[in-house]
């Protein structure tokens, strides 16, 4: 049984962490912080947790958090980098769901996130928490940077093509669509139901913050630079990401279906669908699964990979718990064996 703290428990990734951790057999939730809702019972804000959790939101303070074995940051960007160092000094492991420690080049990070990095010296110690790539390093990590939601769906879809050098690295296209919960739980006009319901649009076509993260991850796999066009879209639904990935064939794609199956055969949370299938975001709703299919339409030169996740689970809180399980030597699926909610 480990003691867990959650900093920033009022957002969607915070409450999703609670949904998962409350039923995790090896976890005791020690503190959940929220500046805006300090003093309020969590289940008053989130009645879905009634009967399961009598914790009260408190102010984040290092002293109490230091009594934890691990602290999750489900905070806006720019918060974890202010507290991580102190917690690490107290031998508390840190799992950051925000972007603070994802990008290795802190100047690049500053450019996209619009602020100076408060703690650049720690960036190199941070392990990028995509278990399907970094499992060994995650085991020993003290500071873990959880991947973004888009980057998780896109990287898991492209990795077999890139690692096996099957496509032209200079011209990758990721046409990605996300449900509105990815925009978080903050008061704003653009994600009101009247604005984003019954409508579909692209956004941030000129450049989205998740692009450098995807490029960094794919370039490591490619062992060279890669060129990516990344267009995110907003789907009129709550949960789910669907990545449609395009690459131009440049390698040996014989048995490409098998190459995908082989790549993920030992991965509990990546599921390669049968040939010809198309994944549907509903089939991973509420679960930590990524479902993937690979197509070569009309036998042409363009490969199409379809990759779906629940942005709040495999794209955030679920992957964070998967990382925690690896870091503490628990079964990797502990607390994550729920079935997707269909219909």
Q: Is 206 in the site for a copy of itself (CB under 8 A)?
A: yes
Q: Which one, 93 or 239, has the nearer CB to a copy of itself? A: 239
Q: Which stretch binds a copy of itself (CB under 8 A): 59-67, 76-84, 149-157, 243-251?
A: 243-251
Q: State how far the Cα of 162 lies from the Cα of 290, in Å rounded to an integer.
A: 18
Q: Is 110 in the site for a copy of itself (CB under 8 A)?
A: no
What x/- string results for residues 269 through 308 when contact with a copy of itself is judged by CB under 8 A?
A: --x-x--xxxxxxxxxxxx-x-x---x-xx-xxx-x-x-x
Of 320-339, binders to a copy of itself (CB under 8 A) are 337-339
Q: Is 235 in the site for a copy of itself (CB under 8 A)?
A: yes
Task: Indicate which single residue of 98, 244, 319, 325 sits in contact with a copy of itself (rule: CB under 8 A).
Answer: 244
DSSP result, 11-57: SHHHHHHHHHHTT-TTEEEEEEE-STTTTSBHHHH-GGGTTT---B-
Beta bridge partners of 309: 241
DSSP letter assigned to residue 75? S
Secondary structure element (H or E) that encloses residue 128, with its range = strand 127-128
Q: Which one, 62 or 192, has the nearer CB to a copy of itself? A: 192
Task: Indicate which single residue of 7, 15, 81, 83 sits in contact with a copy of itself (rule: CB under 8 A).
Answer: 15
Beta bridge partners of 41: 56
Query: Which pair of tokens denotes residue 321?
Result: 């718990």
Query: Does 149 qualify as catalytic in the annotation?
Result: yes
Q: Which one, 78 or 236, has the nearer CB to a copy of itself? A: 236
The angle formed by the CA atoms of residues 220, 249 and 211, to the nearest 5 degrees, is 40
Q: Please return the burial class of 300, using the count of CB atoms within 10 Å of its CB with bins 0-12, 13-18 and 19+.
A: exposed
Bond into 343 cis (ω within 30): yes
Task: Indicate which single residue of 230, 260, 264, 330 sits in contact with a copy of itself (rule: CB under 8 A).
Answer: 230
Q: Which stretch binds a copy of itself (CB under 8 A): 45-53, 58-66, 159-167, 258-266?
A: 45-53
Query: Which pair of tokens denotes residue 128?
Result: 């990028």
Q: Which stretch binds a copy of itself (CB under 8 A): 72-80, 150-158, 205-213, 257-265?
A: 205-213
Neighbours of 35 (CB within 10 A): 14
Reduced to 3 states, what is the DSSP secondary structure of residue 245?
Answer: strand
Q: Is 181 in the site for a copy of itself (CB under 8 A)?
A: yes
Q: How remote is the C-alpha of 123 from its chain's centroid?
A: 18
Query: Which pair of tokens denotes residue 72?
Result: 């999750």
Q: State how far the Cα of 179 lies from the Cα of 104, in Å rounded to an integer.
A: 28
Task: Indicate which single residue of 124, 136, 199, 225 sits in contact with a copy of itself (rule: CB under 8 A).
Answer: 199
Of 53, 149, 278, 290, catalytic = 149
Which residues, other chains included, contact 207 with Cβ-Cβ below 8 Å and sequence gap of 6+? 112
Task: Indicate which single residue of 192, 225, 258, 331 sits in contact with a copy of itself (rule: CB under 8 A).
Answer: 192
- Total chain residues near a copy of itself (CB under 8 A): 90
Q: Is 342 in the site for a copy of itself (CB under 8 A)?
A: yes
Residue 69, CB-side half-sphere exposure with 13 Å CA sphere: 12
Task: Indicate which single residue of 8, 12, 129, 336 sits in contact with a copy of itself (rule: CB under 8 A).
Answer: 12
Task: Indicate which single residue of 90, 111, 201, 223 sits in contact with a copy of itself (rule: CB under 8 A).
Answer: 201
Task: Indicate which single residue of 102, 106, 209, 239 sits in contact with a copy of itself (rule: CB under 8 A).
Answer: 239
Q: List the catalytic residues.
A: 149
């Amino acid at each position: 049984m480990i003691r867990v703290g959650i900093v920033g428990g009022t957002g969607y990734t915070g409450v999703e962490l609670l949904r998962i951790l409350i039923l995790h057999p090896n976890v005791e939730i020690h503190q959940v912080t929220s500046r805006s809702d300090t003093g309020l019972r969590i289940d008053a804000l989130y009645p879905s947790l009634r009967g399961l959790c009598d914790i009260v939101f408190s102010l984040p303070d290092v002293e109490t958090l230091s009594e934890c074995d691990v602290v999750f940051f489900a905070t806006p960007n720019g918060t974890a980098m202010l507290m991580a160092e102190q917690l690490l000094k107290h031998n508390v492991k840190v799992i950051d769901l925000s972007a603070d420690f994802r990008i290795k080049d802190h100047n690049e990070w500053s450019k996209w996130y619009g602020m100076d990095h408060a703690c650049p010296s720690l960036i190199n110690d941070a392990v990028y928490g995509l278990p399907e790539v970094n499992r060994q390093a995650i085991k020993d990590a003290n500071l873990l940077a959880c991947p973004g939601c888009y980057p998780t769906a896109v990287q898991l879809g492209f990795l077999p093509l890139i690692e096996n050098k099957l496509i032209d690295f200079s011209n990758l296209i990721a046409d990605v669509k996300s449900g509105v919960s990815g925009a978080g739980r903050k008061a704003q006009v653009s994600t009101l139901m009247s604005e984003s319901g019954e409508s579909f649009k692209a956004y941030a076509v000129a450049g989205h913050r998740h692009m450098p993260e995807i490029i960094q991850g794919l370039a490591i796999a490619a062992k060279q630079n890669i060129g990516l066009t990344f267009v995110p879209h907003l789907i009129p639904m709550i949960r789910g990401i669907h990545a449609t990935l395009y690459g131009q064939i440049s390698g040996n794609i014989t048995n490409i279906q098998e190459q995908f199956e082989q790549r993920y055969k030992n991965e509990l949370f990546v599921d390669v669908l049968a040939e010809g299938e198309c994944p549907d975001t509903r089939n991973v709703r509420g679960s930590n699964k990524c479902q993937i299919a690979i197509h070569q339409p009309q036998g042409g030169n363009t490969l199409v990979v379809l990759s779906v996740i629940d942005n709040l689970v495999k794209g955030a809180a679920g992957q964070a718990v998967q990382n925690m399980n690896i870091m503490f030597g628990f079964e990797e699926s502990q607390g994550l064996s729920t079935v997707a909610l269909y219909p």
